């Protein structure tokens, strides 16, 4: 148990500089590549960085747990930590830190489960059938997107923001209080936004995002990566709505109305609006036509440079034994 807790805590400590360097790689590559990259590409590569960090954490854990000597590891962090805390003290406090970490994760899991149960109760209690026009629109556009799963559309009296949930049986729920304030075109933009989430499998990927964010809840660099993923994810949905030639100003007005009526949104739900600051960034993005001029060359340059940097990073810090 002592070796397990020590290995885990040291791996978590290493994750701070690892995630910081991965985020720095992403930002530097974004500066170096002077071509526009689509939000979907950015979302995908941010996910690659997040999954790389999980892999690096596992590798680091086994380096400690199996007592594999790594000269870079010793010179980079272990000697620095030992200047402030002797090895004996570290061995004593790591079981306590590990226990506190498990308690925090357990609390987060119980809270998430409680929120899910509460949502399911409120969602099923206030359902209403949507209009025939919107129901047909949803079915037609789902077919246009190539979504093979049946997508259900419902109105609800008890929720306060448009949400999408479910992977095998995706459901879009629009609040009645909001729909009553929207024109037909505005309601269509929200449905297109949620259909894009379904097409991109965002509900499933969102759970991977939540798990990573909760495991590394203490790590500001991973939190920053997760926030960037959410922003690029929403930008991609917004760009898909504009691609159907809806007015950017009409869509911006729709999102502002959503922001006005919604309150707290649980993290496992895919909501159309998730924050004022993010909403402003999204509106600035899709109201600028220049942001949609993506160059084909960037499709290869950006991922290749990112991959090269990550491979060099891994080789430098994990293969120097």
| 164-189 pLDDT tens trace | 888 888 999 998 888 888 899 999 99
Residue 281 belongs to some domain of the structure = yes
Average pLDDT over residues 140-168: 88
**Which domain CATH number covers 156?**
3.30.2010.10
Same domain, 135 and 279: yes
Check residue 320 and give its pLDDT.
47
Pairing verdict, β 171-175 and 152-156: parallel
Helices and strands per DSSP (H, E), number in the chain: 13, 5
Please give the angle made by the CA atoms of 158, 163 and 242, to the nearest 5 degrees.
135
Question: The domain containing residue 309 runs over which residues?
Answer: 1-82+294-321
Same domain, 78 and 226: no
Please answer whether residues 236 and 40 qualify as being in contact, where contact means their C-beta atoms are separated by less than 8 angstroms: yes
pTM of the model: 0.84
Q: Which residue has the tokens 């960090």?
A: 53
Average pLDDT over residues 229-250: 92
Same domain, 138 and 233: yes
Check residue 264 and give its pLDDT.
52
Give yes or no for residue 53 having a pLDDT over 50: yes
pLDDT digits (tens, 9 = 90+) for 112-141: 788 878 777 777 777 888 989 999 999 999
Same domain, 155 and 186: yes
Q: How far is CA 35 from the centre of its chain?
A: 24
Same domain, 139 and 262: yes
Same domain, 241 and 311: no
pLDDT digits (tens, 9 = 90+) for 287-302: 888 877 765 555 555 5
């Amino acid at each position: 148990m002592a070796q397990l807790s020590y290995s885990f805590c040291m791996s978590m400590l290493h994750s701070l500089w690892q995630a910081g360097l991965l985020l720095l790689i992403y930002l530097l590559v974004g500066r170096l590549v002077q071509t526009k990259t689509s939000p979907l590409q950015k979302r995908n590569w941010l996910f690659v960085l997040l999954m790389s960090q999980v892999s690096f954490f596992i590798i680091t854990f086994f380096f400690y747990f199996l007592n594999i000597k790594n000269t870079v590891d010793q010179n980079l962090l272990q000697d620095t930590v030992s200047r402030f805390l002797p090895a004996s003290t570290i061995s004593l406090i790591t079981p306590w830190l590990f226990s506190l970490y498990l308690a925090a994760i357990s609390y987060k899991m119980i809270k998430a489960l409680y929120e899910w149960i509460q949502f399911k109760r409120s969602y099923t209690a206030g359902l209403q059938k949507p209009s025939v026009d919107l129901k047909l629109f949803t079915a037609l556009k789902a077919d246009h997107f190539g979504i093979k799963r049946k997508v259900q559309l419902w109105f609800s009296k008890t929720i306060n923001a448009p949400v999408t949930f479910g992977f095998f049986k995706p459901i879009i729920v629009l609040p009645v209080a909001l729909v009553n304030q929207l024109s037909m075109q505005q309601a269509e933009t929200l449905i297109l936004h949620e259909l894009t989430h379904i097409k991109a499998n965002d509900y499933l990927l969102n759970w991977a995002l939540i798990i990573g964010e909760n495991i590394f809840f203490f790590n500001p660099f991973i939190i920053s990566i997760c926030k960037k993923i959410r922003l690029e994810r929403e930008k991609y949905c917004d760009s898909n709505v504009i691609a159907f030639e809806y007015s950017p100003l009409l869509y911006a007005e729709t999102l502002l109305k959503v922001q006005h009526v919604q309150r707290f949104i649980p993290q496992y739900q895919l909501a159309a609006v998730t924050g004022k600051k993010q909403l402003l960034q999204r509106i600035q993005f899709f109201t600028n036509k220049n942001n949609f001029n993506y160059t084909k060359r960037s499709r290869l340059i950006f991922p290749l440079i990112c991959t090269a940097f990550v491979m060099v990073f891994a080789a430098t810090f994990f293969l120097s034994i």
